Structure 1
Amino acid sequence: MACEAVECPHPDPPLYGQLHYENAQYNSTVNYTCDEGYFLTGASSAVCLVDGTWSAPEPQCKPISCGPAPIPQFGMIIYNKIIRVNNIIYGTTGTYKCRPPFALFGKETAECTATGQWTETPQCKEVRCPPPENIENGYKDEPSQNLDFGYDAIIRYGCNGNYVLDGTQIVCQKNGQWSQKPSCKAPCSIDIKRGRILYKGKKLWIEDLKPNNVSHGEFVSVYCMDADRNCGYEALTQCLDGNLQIPTCFEEPSAALYSMKSGSLPSEIQQC
């Protein structure tokens, strides 16, 4: 006759958990733990009994859940996935938003943590901006009704005449100040009396540009002479808020040359 050690079936780890044991023989102990965000239901340990069974069935690891996220007054939360209100599990996140003129102060995103609690809830505080100022050479595009200059309010601007708007609008920010105002940029005149230009893809004699101005941001080319190669070439310049610099290579012809021998100008001869 021989004596053999009693041995229990080797246990399996629970889903979303682990087990810890040295062997499955009589009087051995197995310990169960769960992954972060899960809690154990059932016995956390079991002992191998003399009849070859474990003293407790294998436990389960179930996800930790939080209740609905706290909602600040005048605010709301948008969860990152479809949820059941009574089963918001660990790792679920949500994004807070406030109803204007209330602005969000604190973290925009909340998370259901491994403790079953939500991270810190932000606040919705009322924010108002002062009446917006006008801009030089422009106007505010305000609706006819009374405006409430609260958080996230938008004021749009326009420019007078042939001024060009740089930017479009201002927004009431959470610090109670408006965002940077746009500005109206001035047009430019082309300060040459005689010569040809390239503007919007067309070659024009300067006297045919009526009126003599181009808008802020637009490009114009004058024609310069490459004496070494005896050819003409375009020299580009840009209108920047009323200032258009004529390239230094440009030489304005005399009145006589312009009227009697215009075909010899850099704009009319072979281009480099």
Structure 2
Amino acid sequence: MERVLTLFLLCPALFFTTVTSQQDNVCLRPNLADTINLAGIHRYFNPGEELALSCIDGYTPVSGPRKIVCKVNGEWTKTRFLCIPKRCPYPDPPTNGELYYEDTIYRSTINYTCNEGYVLTGSSTSVCQANGTWSTLVPECTPVTCDLAPIPQFGMIIYDTTVRGNTTYYGTTGTYRCHPPHALIGNPRAECTASGTWTKTPECKVVTCHPPRNIDKGYMSTSRQRDYDYMETVKYGCTGEFVLEGSQEIVCQQDGTWSEKPSCKAPCKIGINRGRILYKGRKIWIGDLNPNRVLHNEIVSVYCKNTARNCGYAVPTQCIDGRLQIPECFEEPSGTDYTFHSGSLPSEITQC
């Protein structure tokens, strides 16, 4: 009985020793990258056993081999098996919008936005999935809509593009007009804005101007003393040899004032007694200019002499409201030279 008990007590120790000695050359389940799948659920592998390798969802295998073998020394054979994330196609931006992303690999995210005046229809984000496709379609950016532009009383709007129905879109523009004698007070341009509303609507108000006054040395196209409506006009002219400078016509403006009136400018007398001038393309002796005057803004030339080269040259001067300045280089000849030696005058000798 004692021998049996002794043998029974020794058996567990012998069994434990056997198992422990067998695990000295087994392979433990390898600790590989998180992206690699290991076949089966065993923790221990005997020499010669194989373990298949694969990639988790969203990753693609590269290199190899795709299995490892337990060696007699308890180590696994080497492998370059590697799993890289799958890649989704490069995305296109939505029309009238933009997209933002850092990469296109598995689990990457796209964020979509629309330009000002456009509203995003669809998902604003998309994720690269394990099968290499994006989780959502590219969204659309649709323009903000406005109602038709409000029309002021006694006014209208002319759209820059054709408008159909009762809806307009962001960026639609137009110009307001008022029916005379109403004047437009405010901004004549209108636009459908990003907020879905139109810019501020102007007003159409009756505007009148007081009777205009005449101008010095001039006359008006009417002598009636009455108030004038917005956009009515009056014309001016000048008497005698005075020249009208400015617009011939003034208009009653939207602020109730007249546009700038013209003025009548005086003619000029040529302040030389002897000499020859160039006027309207012709050489004229000053005595033959009858009457002795040129009109406002007209140009006349007198002749000067280049003594060093012994030649003459014409110097222009312009009549400005009754004043014509004679160039300093002009020297009026004596009566004798003018009468008996006119051929030696700067206007008659060789021109420079």
Report matched runs for 1:168-183 at 5 Å. 168-183=248-263
Q: Cα distance, 1:187 vs. partner?
A: 0.9
Report matched runs for 1:2-21 at 5 Å. 15-16=94-95
Amino acid at match of 1:108: P
Task: Give the structure with the larger helix fraction.
Answer: 2
Which of 124, 130, 138 in structure 1 is aligned with 2:218?
138
Cα contact 2:148–2:166 (8 A) shared by 1:
yes
User: Which residue of structure 1 lines up, in the alignment, with residue 150 of structure 2?
Assistant: 70
Structure having greater relative contact order (Cα 8 Å, sep ≥ 6) = 1
Quick one: percent identity of the two aligned structures?
Answer: 58
Identify if the C-alpha distance between structure 1 residues 31 and 259 changes in structure 2 by more than 3 Å, giving closer, same or farther: closer
Identify if the C-alpha distance between structure 1 residues 209 and 23 changes in structure 2 by more than 3 Å, giving closer, same or farther: closer
Which of 190, 195, 205 in structure 1 is aligned with 2:270?
190
State whether structure 2 residue 330 is matched by structure 1 residue 250: yes
Cα contact 2:98–2:115 (8 A) shared by 1:
yes
Q: Cα distance, 1:200 vs. partner?
A: 0.8
| Partner Cα separation in structure 1 for residue 154 and residue 120 of structure 2 | 38
- Give unpaired runs (5+ residues) of structure 1: 48-53
Q: Give the aligned length.
A: 270
- What is the TM-score of this pair, normalised by structure 1? 0.79
Q: Which moved more, 1:106-115 or 1:68-77?
A: 106-115
Q: Cα distance, 1:214 vs. partner?
A: 0.8
Cα contact 1:40–1:62 (8 A) shared by 2:
yes
| Partner Cα separation in structure 1 for residue 118 and residue 93 of structure 2 | 11
Amino acid at match of 1:158: G
State whether structure 2 residue 198 is matched by structure 1 residue 118: yes
Amino acid at match of 2:241: N
Which of 186, 194, 207 in structure 2 is aligned with 1:106?
186
Identify if the C-alpha distance between structure 1 residues 262 and 36 changes in structure 2 by more than 3 Å, giving closer, same or farther: closer
Identify if the C-alpha distance between structure 1 residues 46 and 156 changes in structure 2 by more than 3 Å, giving closer, same or farther: same
Moved over 4 A (4+): 1-6, 10-26, 29-35, 40-47, 54-61, 144-148
User: Which residue of structure 1 lines up, in the alignment, with residue 292 of structure 2?
Assistant: 212
Q: Cα distance, 1:76 vs. partner?
A: 1.4
- Give unpaired runs (5+ residues) of structure 2: 1-38, 40-53, 59-87, 128-133
Q: CA-to-partner distance for each residue in 1:69-93, whole Å, 9 max, x for gaps? A: 0011122112121111323111111
Which of 236, 247, 268 in structure 2 is aligned with 1:157?
236
Amino acid at match of 2:230: Y
| Partner Cα separation in structure 1 for residue 294 and residue 270 of structure 2 | 8
Amino acid at match of 2:229: G
Cα contact 2:94–2:138 (8 A) shared by 1:
no
Greater Rg, structure 1 or structure 2? Answer: 2
Q: Cα distance, 1:45 vs. partner?
A: 8.2
User: Which residue of structure 1 lines up, in the alignment, with residue 343 of structure 2?
Assistant: 263
Amino acid at match of 1:195: G
| Partner Cα separation in structure 2 for residue 199 and residue 205 of structure 1 | 10
